[in-house]
Every structure is written in C-alpha cells, then in structure tokens.
C-alpha cells in the first residue's frame, strides 16, 4: 500500500486549484462554507482518531472554499472517514490481511455510492465483485 500512496501523493501534489472554468485548474472549490467546514472538520477528526494524513489535510492558502486533495491511512475500520460520506477530495485507505476481511470491510457501511478494487489479478476481482453488496439505506 505504501507504493500506491506514494504514487498518488506525488500526482495529487501537481493538481492546481482554481476557477472551474479555467482549463489549467484541476480542482474547483467546495460548494459553500458549511461544506468547507464539514470537510476540514474531517481532517481534524482523522488526526484526533490517530489516522495518518499522507498528503493534504488542510485548506489551500487562497480565497474561496478550496481544500487540498487528501490521502489518509485509517488505523481502524471504525474511522469516521470510513463510516461517513465526505463529498470532498479525500481518499481513505485501510490495510487488510485477506479477501475475506476485505469483503467484510467493504460491506460494513450504510453508505455505498461507489466501490473500487485495485488489482492486477482480474480473476480475483471478478470473484469478489458479486460479494460486494449495495448500500443499506434506511
């Protein structure tokens, strides 16, 4: 996982914030102050919970509601960033030991707007996909 996080960190550091109509900008602002405070609050919670911020984790030093794209290594499956929707530029990662644990972790959420498997083993991915269940809303 360290290699993936290092490569992602390097790429995220090159992204330029700015006006969404500016073709040079790769990151627009968050929608409003309330959302900005929610997302930056998640950074504070991650630190309080002992999660490791790999890159980002703060607002850009510029006018507007811009936050740095952020990668976080969670320390437990109960981490707030693994249990709540952020709708912000945050990727949260958690190590696992085997496929059974991974499927259990992926299915242990009331949310589920997306899921992804990163692997170079297509047969493993195809075996796991049917075991990942949709979100349990309400």
Output 110 or 84, whichever has higher pLDDT: 84
Is residue 10 within a helix (H) or strand (E), and if so which, with residue range?
Answer: helix 2-12
75 & 31 share domain: yes
At residue 136 the predicted structure's pLDDT band, cuts being 50, 70 and 90, is: low
In this prediction, residues 49-66 reach a mean pLDDT of 96
Write out the DSSP string of 23-67: TT--B---SSHHHHHHHHHHHHHHHHTT-EEEE--SB-SSSSS-B
Tens of pLDDT, residues 100-109: 998 888 888 7
81, 71 Cβ separation under 8 angstroms: no
| Sheet bearing 90-93, strands edge to edge | 52-55, 70-73, 90-93
Q: Return the HEC string of 104-127.
A: HHHHCCCCCCCCCCCCCCHHHHHH
Q: And the tokens for 81? A: 């960033």
Question: What total of structural domains would you count in the chain?
Answer: 2
d(CA 86, CA 40): 10
68 & 6 share domain: yes
Q: And the tokens for 101? A: 């644990």
86 & 21 share domain: yes
Instruction: Give residue 138's domain range.
Output: 97-138
Q: Can you give the pLDDT at residue 10?
A: 96
45 & 106 share domain: no
């Amino acid at each position: 996982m360290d290699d993936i996080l290092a490569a992602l960190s390097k790429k995220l550091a090159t992204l330029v914030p700015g006006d969404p109509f500016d073709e040079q900008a790769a990151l627009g602002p968050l929608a409003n102050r309330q959302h900005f405070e929610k997302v930056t609050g998640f950074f504070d919670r991650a630190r309080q919970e002992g999660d490791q911020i790999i890159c980002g984790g703060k607002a850009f030093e510029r006018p507007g509601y811009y936050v740095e794209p952020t990668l976080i290594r969670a320390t437990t499956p109960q981490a707030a960033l693994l249990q709540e929707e952020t709708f912000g530029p945050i990727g949260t990662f958690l190590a696992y030991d085997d496929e059974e644990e991974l499927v259990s972790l992926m299915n242990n959420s009331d949310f589920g707007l997306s899921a992804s498997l990163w692997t170079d083993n297509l047969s493993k991915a195809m075996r796991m996909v049917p075991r990942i269940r949709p979100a349990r809303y309400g």
